[in-house]
Amino acid sequence: MTRSQAVQGLFDKLLKQVELAEPASQERIEVVQQQVGFHFSQEYRDFLLFSNGAEGPIGEHGYIQLWALEDLVEFNLGYAVQEFAPGIFLFGSDGGDDAFGFDLRDPGMPVIRIPFIPMSNDLVVQIAPTFIRFLAMQTGIEAGDPRRDAERGAVELD
């Protein structure tokens, strides 16, 4: 099993309840990375290549909106993220009061939760060290390390 197949299997399992979109192209991802001025994590790029955004119920009681690549710049500007929470880059929400994003102030770019109103770095809560762990937490499934799992040729979540 290739790394790509392992990662796709992982996303299939983690996102089985949500409505998926057509995959983004590698070229479009590169353009948006240039626009925002940083490189997305490999896991997040893998997600965009799997589904360019997603929305729906996740886990037992949750809801998730993962914004399409084309919306990332517009939504971060619209919510004035750099004004109210410098160093944060939003990629989605819980469909309610809270946004999900990456903390660019940390080299590991952990996933954070922040309220839309009031948006402030004082209210940032780190919720997962990686994008895959974030999805796993939302679903209640424990995810392994996709790089290690791909090298072993398996993705085991059960």
Contact of 91 with 100, CB cutoff 8 Å = yes
* Chain segment 48-76, per-residue pLDDT in tens: 999 999 999 998 888 999 999 999 999 99
In angstroms, what is the C-alpha Rg of the chain? Answer: 15
Is the per-residue pLDDT at 155 higher than 60?
Answer: no
Can you tell me the mean pLDDT for 6-18? 82
- Residues in contact with 124: Cβ distance below 8 Å, sequence separation at least 6, in sequence order: 85, 88, 103, 112, 113, 114
pLDDT-derived band at 93 (thresholds 50, 70, 90) equals very high
User: Higher-confidence residue: 97 or 13?
Assistant: 97
37-41, 126-130, 143-147: lowest mean pLDDT where? 143-147
Note the pTM of the prediction, 2 decimals: 0.85
**Cα–Cα distance for residue pair 21/51, rounded to 1 Å:** 5
Is the per-residue pLDDT at 150 higher than 60?
Answer: no
Sheet arrangement for strand 62-66:
19-20, 54-58, 62-66, 88-93, 98-103, 111-115, 125-128
Which domains can be identified in the chain, with CATH numbers? 3-144 (3.40.1580.10)
